[in-house]
Amino acid sequence: MAEPLIGIGLPVYNGEPFLTRSLDSLMAQSETDFELVIGDNCSTDGTEEICRELARKDERVTYLRRERNIGVLANHNRLIHETRGEFFSFASSDDEYHPDRLAELSAALRAQPDAVLAFSAAEEIDENGDVLRVWRNSIRTDHPSPVVRMRAKLADPEENLQLYGLIRRSAMERVRPQAPFKGSDRVTIVELALLGPFVAVDEPLLRHRQHTRRMSEVVDSRAYRLREQGTERRFYLPNVEEGVFLLRGVGQAPLNRSERLRGYVSLWPWVWRNTLPMARNVAHVGLDVLGRRR
């Protein structure tokens, strides 16, 4: 089979409640030159049946059931390498997609060859599909300077829907796999921003569903780590780890000497905001070592 223009990776675990609506919207795209690879983390509900039925009907769909639950982030990371195509996009079993999403985002990337990612405005919807609000990008990820793009992202760390845009595979393969700490998607966006500008499409092409079962609703960072398979015994220093990954990102980005120095200096506001959380990380590890924390 010829390589598609776009590879879509959809990680899922027990996604039955909204999965059919998500898949229907993906298969209704006006840009049809894509493949959809579904990575199922050993779901125990009706997810497997839904996905296998779709794969039987449409040769663009590949269903991969993991040998065990490998964790959310490992499932995401695998899908990057299990898909093909010039462009890559994550999809979610919770969300829905405008029919022209792939067409408009791929056109935006073709029109701006130096851009590494295209994303759109998004409607945030509830469990019933009713619109709660419309999200539009407010940070300068389109700036020609990589340091300005990085600084803009670090100043607004909660704005992470860009990662569900359309990404040049050549750029996606240059960033490191997401590590098992909450907020690792922020680091991925920073690393992508250091590689090139993002282009924004003003029309809402994504319907991003908010509900209590979303992984992003998990508030406690320690609980988040415990949900990731194979990490139960590791000491947990999420803020420290994020800082280390950001430093490495600046160090490994294709920057000249002046830009790299400015990049390191631009991390200081992040360090200042996270000094207390990092101190708490270290204190918790100390309590773990002493056996006083379960």
Q: Give the global pTM.
A: 0.90
DSSP structural state of residue 176: P
240: left (phi over 0), alpha (psi -120 to 50) or beta: alpha
* Same domain for 201 and 114: yes
pLDDT at 292: 54
Q: For the segment 88-113, what is each residue's pLDDT rounded down to a tens digit? A: 999 999 999 999 999 999 999 999 99
Question: Both ends of the chain: CA-CA distance in Å?
Answer: 52
Taking 70 as the threshold, does the pLDDT of residue 221 lie above it? no
Residue 294 lies in a domain: no
Taking 70 as the threshold, does the pLDDT of residue 142 lie above it? yes
Q: Residue 57's CB: how many other CB atoms inside 10 A? A: 10
* Same domain for 228 and 209: no
pLDDT at 213: 66
Rounding to the nearest 10 degrees, give the CA dihedral for residues 249, 250, 256, 257: -140
Average confidence (pLDDT) over 133-140: 86
* Same domain for 231 and 197: no
Taking 90 as the threshold, does the pLDDT of residue 287 lie above it? no
Q: Return mean pLDDT, the chain.
A: 90
Query: How many domains in the chain?
Result: 2
Average confidence (pLDDT) over 197-206: 96
Taking 60 as the threshold, does the pLDDT of residue 4 lie above it? yes
Q: For the segment 27-79, what is each residue's pLDDT rounded down to a tens digit? A: 999 999 999 999 999 999 999 999 999 999 999 999 999 999 999 999 999 99
* Same domain for 225 and 178: no
* Same domain for 274 and 149: no
Taking 80 as the threshold, does the pLDDT of residue 159 lie above it? no
pLDDT at 227: 54
**Of 132-146, 169-183, 209-223, 271-285, where does mean pLDDT reach its minimum?**
209-223
* Same domain for 142 and 27: yes
pLDDT at 180: 77
Last residue of some domain: 170, 187, 217? 217
* Same domain for 173 and 146: yes
pLDDT at 149: 96
Last residue of some domain: 189, 217, 245? 217
Helix, strand or coil for residue 150? helix
Average confidence (pLDDT) over 227-239: 64
pLDDT at 219: 44
Average confidence (pLDDT) over 115-142: 93
Determine whether 202 is exposed, middle or buried from the number of CB atoms within 10 Å of its CB (0-12, 13-18, 19+): exposed
Last residue of some domain: 191, 217, 243? 217
DSSP structural state of residue 134: E
* Domain housing 257: 221-289
